[in-house]
Amino acid sequence: MPAHEFPLPVVLLIVFGSAKLMGEIFVKLRLPALVGEILAGAVIGPSALGWIAPNDTLKALSDLGVMFLLFDVGLQVKAHELLRVGGTAMLVAMLGVIVPFFAGWGILLAWGAPQTEAVFVGASLVATSVGITASSLSARGLLQEVASKIILAAAVIDDVLGLIVLAAVSSLAQGRVNFLEIAFTAGMAAAFTVILAKWGTAAVNRILPHFHSRADAEDAQFHLSLIVLFALSALAIYTGVAAIVGAFLAGLALSDTADNRVRDLTRGVNELLVPFFLVGIGLHLDLSAFRTPATLALALVILAAAILTKLIGCGLGAASLGWQNVLKIGLGMVPRGEVGMVVAQIGLSMKVISTEVYAVVVFMAIATTIVTPLLLKIAFRGPSLKPVRT
């Protein structure tokens, strides 16, 4: 069903209103609100009612929403706490990349797909959507748990590792692999992440008080925080990392100095923008591609592999912490969200994956995003510190 062309205020009303309505329904059912908001996108999108289709405006609002979400999460944790679990997080991230990649590659080869297409599907299973996991953990008040800190750190590392994998498979699809270029990009991305995580907080603690003491404008500290957020997000892009990693590291750097006013204003912006990120994921669902039993079967196999390979790979990396933490960390690394869809879009634009396989990967990305909050609700049994809302 073709999407209607509504004026912008009507689009905003439909997207935001449907997200909050579905979120409220899911909360009343004692389920995570963000699952309802993602499904709202599927309902109003091209696969169902056809009211709204993905467009550049919604994409921009979605990108802003996930940036502020990760910034807010960064404000709630401390850099030294993440660095303390860095060794475990690195192992979790590495195994969480290797196991899914080879599983996806092998499944597509067994299905009879060409080598390059199989490699792209393997790459789509690699990176974790830190935005979805962070939103789930934050909504349940679980960011201070050891398992949560490992998940966040590993997801950030995943972004760097996923960048390397994507660069390699893109080069392979073009018929050449430029090892020097891949190594340089990976080195820049890793250096940016490590330097900011290790010394960002100390630098901000030393520099920002001088600006605060001279600023007279109301909410000047929030304005400076936004400048740091946008600057590090932009710098992240130029070093080859996703903007959301820069946003998270900006929040991490400001976590010692940000006052309650900054935190409250950030959450207010989140309430406005994050629903556009969540609905945007649901809008990409396309059920029309699953008309043949073979495509549907492949989608279900890839979905099962996406869940099990993260649970096994990431779980093995955390085996020393006990089985309860293995379950929490393994399931927390499951969502692929927008990350998996980006890989699929690149493969489709390079004409190395078919439209059917593209639909399978998008289905996997959305389905893992929807089931993760439900799986985390099981893994993190016990009372949450606040209601399950986005």
pLDDT in tens, 246-291: 898 999 899 888 888 889 999 999 999 999 998 988 888 777 777 7
Q: How confident is the model at residue 390 (pLDDT cuts 50, 70, 90)?
A: very low
Mean pLDDT of the chain: 84
* Domain span at 230: 55-276+289-379
Q: Residue 1: pLDDT above 70?
A: no
The Cα–Cα gap between 15 and 274 comes to: 11
The Cα–Cα gap between 184 and 284 comes to: 33
Does residue 352 sit within a domain?
yes
Q: Domain count of the chain?
A: 1
Bigger pLDDT: 322 or 388? 322
Q: Looking at this protein, which amino acid is placed at residue 247?
A: A
Residue 48's Cβ-count burial label (10 Å; 0-12, 13-18, 19+) is: middle
Record the pTM.
Answer: 0.81
Does residue 28 sit within a domain?
no
Angle at 239 between CA 236 and CA 241, to 5 degrees: 55
Does residue 174 sit within a domain?
yes
Looking at residue 183, its pLDDT comes to: 77
- CATH (domain of 98): 1.20.1530.20
Does residue 14 sit within a domain?
no
pLDDT in tens, 292-351: 888 889 999 999 999 999 999 998 888 888 888 888 999 988 988 776 777 777 777 778
pLDDT in tens, 70-121: 899 888 888 787 888 888 989 999 999 999 999 999 999 999 888 888 988 8
Looking at residue 76, its pLDDT comes to: 85
Q: Looking at this protein, which amino acid is placed at residue 163?
A: L
Looking at residue 229, its pLDDT comes to: 94
Calculate mean pLDDT across residues 223-235: 92
Residue with tokens 């329904």: 25
